[in-house]
Amino acid sequence: MEFFGGLALVVGLATHLAAFLAAIVMVGAIVLAKRHAGFTRTDTTGYEFELAVLVMALVILTQGAGPASLDARLGLHM
């Protein structure tokens, strides 16, 4: 997911699927790995980065990739 999903988001191909999968991964990271660390901490990293990626993935999931994406150029509106 990390490499190919990120690449899909960058070029705008299958963006809804890639954003959905990224959101699932970030929810899992927050709930399973970072929930005890808190939002931000000085001695260790909190879940602020994962939360930011989750919000960005949800924005792409709801708004789409835009007219310059490969999805729009190929007519693949999901």
Query: Which pLDDT score is estimated for 22?
Result: 93
Sequence-ordered list of residues with C-beta below 8 angstroms from that of 12, at least 6 positions apart, any chain = 65, 66, 68, 69, 70, 71, 72
Q: Which residue has the tokens 């960005």?
A: 56
Residues in the chain with pLDDT < 50?
Answer: none
pLDDT at 43: 64
Tell which residue, 39, 36, 66, has the closest CA to residue 52. Answer: 39
pTM score of the predicted model? 0.82
Cα 35 from Cα 10, distance rounded (Å): 29
